[in-house]
Structure 1
Amino acid sequence: MRVDLFDFDLPTERIALRPARPRDAARMLVVDGDAPFSDRHVRDLPQMLRKGDVLVFNDTRVIPAQLEGRRGEARIGATLHKRIDLRRWQAFVRNAKRLRPGDRVEFPAEVTAIAEARHEDGSWTLAFEGDEPVEVLLERAGRMPLPPYIAGKRDTDEADRSDYQTMFAREKGAVAAPTAALHFTPELVERLDEAGIARETLTLHVGAGTFLPVKADDTSDHKMHAEWGRIDQATADRLNAARAAGGRLIAVGTTSLRLLESAAGEDDVIRPFEGDTSIFITPGYRFKAIDGLMTNFHLPKSTLFMLVSALMGLDKMQAVYAHAIGAQYRFYSYGDSSLLLP
């Protein structure tokens, strides 16, 4: 399909620079089959779901993966986006033309890394020196890696260390938040429990590649970035059992959805999964593992807008986004939510 079919005009003032407070006060646009769109709030979620439904969360934890350093007199910015091994990470580098293989980059707090090799996509392998775990070094020297559409408008600050982390965050390794789950609070989870709505977690370490623009003119020519994920046997068994009993699996975020679909076979059974996934979901895809999606509002011509268009239909999602813009919903990572039920 032509990528320009997924374009739309978004006023810049609709981009949220801070989250709603409290988190579950964010607005939520409910799109349920052929019913009229419903303007609600995230705190209304227990009323929108049924007893026996299962919300599937991503428990990845964002690490402070953005670093500012120097190679000699040259300023070098690095955003880590994929772990290679214990000491080496693949990173997108700003001012990369000043780097050569073997160069040492000095970051704050006595953190240093060697630029080992440049990849075809322009990113670099950085090998961190010393014996301390890289995560410890990042806590000392790094910043939360806010998306470019936020970081380009304001500085990252201390509030982002908690704002850009979900209440389910446990497994360190993401360099972008699974933002649909940013809206949840302990109070909302308690009300979901009382309503008989179950929850499960999986892990998918979101990479900075999620923000890369689609440069191809046709979706068939786009190469999707890979991200590491895991679903264990017990979780897969519970998800399959819930669905067999008539419950709906509602992915909280496109990251949970992509991993569930990667783990499901053509028989619609979810199996254990551990490894990289580069699944690219566009209209025409047959969903095997999920029955609905809770997600924020996405960028024009992005792979994520293509994904929601695959779930609900392109014409309907264009109408949904036109409604959201007209009704002044807040967009992107710190923005409002939608509940999409085909």
Structure 2
Amino acid sequence: MKVKDFDFELPEELIAQEPMEPRDESRLMVINRAEERIEGKIFKEIVDYFQPGDTLVRNNTKVIPARLFGQKETGAKVEVLLLTQAELGVWEALVRPGRKLKLGTRVIFGNGELVGEIKGRTDFGGRVIKFEYEGTFEAVLDKLGEMPLPPYITKELDKSEKYQTVYAKKRGAAAAPTAGLHFTDELLAKIEAKGVNIVDITLHVGLGTFRPVSVDTIEEHDMHSEYYEVSEEAAQIINETKKQGNRVFSVGTTSTRTLETVATKDGRIKAGKGWTDIFIYPGYEFKAVDALITNFHLPQSTLVMLVSAFAGQELTMKAYEQAVEQNYRFYSFGDGMLIL
């Protein structure tokens, strides 16, 4: 299957630069797969689509201030985006300028509170960096790091909390699970009051989620591994939901990839933790997810491919065409989509 099959014209002005206030006032496109029907709503109206006994699965990862600015001992400036912690004090990262950061190069951050040494290369063109610091790495990162907004968002945030879900809990992500940004505490309370289970799982969003596809055919693309956790309690609630004939609503592509990673062929969820590089594109048979809540993604991205696998490529491309025509807001701070 060709990557160009997932291309569409996206005017730059439709890439949202800041979130809607309040969050649940963003627009919501609802797609009914069985009837091939598309309708427009407001996100807070999503509560109407739940039934008692359904389960909402959300990713509780928390974005860390993963972007660091430092300098080499020569004074040359360096930018580092932390992606995955390989071991204590050792991270895989994207770096700029990459070609000039050779093995053994030392990078100083702040006033020397943090020093990194290049220890190796990664398979995605990044670097392995070992850090030296006093105290805890978490505290040093909170002091020196910045929120790693995607390059498509050029406007600075006045509050970093805007790039966190209201239920963010477990630190470790380099990017937010953005479908969850639409939810407010009040909306979640209304959903729960309707008799819906709300379950947390974790996938620390990294390069695998937003890495561009640089090959011509999607089967050639390799996903970068990301760390996940699914608790026994979460697995039990989801499995009971399926057993009772109710539906599992997945918040975002990250929750979906996690659930599909740990699901057996008959749709049962197995608790566990580990690394996933699952790549979902048309032809994939979903085992666990019944409804998908997501955002509007960029052309030719793995995220559009996952949505196309769930809703069908033709219906997805039709929905995206309508979204552009009707000025829906795209990407991290954009509008939402519910696929039933």
TM-score bracket for this pair, using the shorter chain length: over 0.9
Moved runs in structure 1, 4+ residues, more than 3 A? none
Question: What are the superposed Cα offsets for residues 146-205 of structure 1, whole Å, 9 maximum, x if unpaired?
Answer: 01111xx23x3442x100000111100001000011111111111112221221000100
* Structure 1 unaligned spans of 5+: none
CA contact (8 A) 2:59 2:255 kept: yes
Question: Which residue in the other structure is 2:58 paired with?
Answer: 57
For each residue in 1:24-65, what CA deviation from the matched residue of structure 2 results, as whole angstroms up to 9, or x when unmatched? 101100002215311111110111222211110000000000
Asked if residue 115 in structure 1 is aligned to residue 118 in structure 2, the reply is yes
Q: Which residue of 1 aligns with 2:262?
A: 263
Are 1:208 and 2:211 counterparts?
Answer: no
Q: Deviations over 1:4-39 (max 9, x none)?
A: 101111000000000000001011000022153111
Q: Structure 1: how far apart are the matches of 2:134 and 2:75? A: 26
Identity, % of aligned pairs? 42
Whole-angstrom distance in 1 between the partners of 2:302 and 2:194: 34
Please point out which of 122, 139, 156 is paired with 2:142: 139
Counterpart position of 1:87: 89
| Letter of the 2:130 counterpart | A
Q: Do the aligned partners of residues 193 and 121 (structure 1) sit closer, same or farther apart at CA in structure 2, a change above 3 Å counting?
A: closer
Matched position secondary structure for 1:39: strand
Take 1:332 and 1:130, find their aligned partners in 2: how far apart are those partners?
Answer: 36
| One-letter code aligned to 1:188 | L
The whole-number CA distance in structure 1 between the counterparts of 2:37 and 2:288 is 26
> Partner of 2:152: helix, strand, or coil?
helix
1:4 is aligned to 2:7: no
Residue number in structure 2 paired with 1:38: 39
1:79 and 1:273 map into 2 onto residues whose CA distance is 28
Query: Shift of the alpha carbon at 1:208?
Result: 3.3
Match of 2:335 in 1: 336
- Whether the aligned pair in 2 keeps the contact of 1:79 and 1:208 (CA below 8 Å) is no
Distance in 2 separating the partners of 1:102 and 1:276: 28
Structure 1 counterpart of 2:131: 128
Letter in 1 for 2:109: F
* Cα distance change on mapping 1:266 and 1:56 into 2, 3 Å: same
Q: TM-score w.r.t. structure 2 length?
A: 0.97
Q: What is the correspondence of 1:228-243 to structure 2 with a 5 Å cutoff?
A: 228-243=227-242
Q: Report the secondary structure of 2:228's partner residue.
A: strand
1:252-291 equivalences in 2 (<5 Å): 252-291=251-290
Task: Specify the code of the residue in structure 2 equivalent to 1:104.
Answer: R
CA distance in 1, matches of 2:193, 2:171: 30
Partner of 1:27: 27
Q: Which is further off, 190-199 or 275-284?
A: 190-199
| Cα distance between partner residues in 2 of 1:84 and 1:50 | 42
TM-score (norm 1): 0.96
Query: Matches of residues 59-208 of structure 1 in structure 2 within 5 Å?
Result: 59-71=60-72, 72-109=74-111, 110-150=113-153, 153-154=154-155, 156-159=156-159, 161-208=160-207
1:149 is paired with a residue of what secondary structure?
coil
Structure 1 partner of 2:325: 326
The letter for the 1-side match of 2:81 is: T
State the number of aligned residues. Answer: 337
**Structure 1 residue matching 2:337: 3-state secondary structure:** strand
Contact 1:87 1:133 in 2 (8 A): no
The answer on whether the counterparts of 1:58 and 1:203 sit within 8 Å (CA) in structure 2 is: yes
Structure 2, unaligned runs of 5 or more: none
Q: Deviation at 1:121?
A: 2.1
Other structure's SS at 2:37 match: coil
The alignment partner of 2:331 has SS state of coil
* One-letter identity of the residue aligned with 1:30: V
Q: Tell me if the contact between 2:173 and 2:206 (Cα under 8 Å) persists in the aligned partners.
A: yes
3-state SS of paired residue (1:24):
helix
Aligned equivalents of 2:209, 2:241: Cα separation in 1: 30
CA contact (8 A) 1:74 1:98 kept: no
Q: Is the contact made by 2:249 and 2:292 (CA closer than 8 Å) also made in structure 1?
A: yes
Residue 119 of structure 1 deviates from its aligned partner by 2.1
Return the letter of the residue paired with 2:96.
R
Change in Cα spacing, 1:196 to 1:86, as seen in structure 2 (3 Å) is: same
Deviations 1:114-150 (A, max 9, x none): 1111223210011110242222111010100001111
Q: CA RMSD in A?
A: 1.1
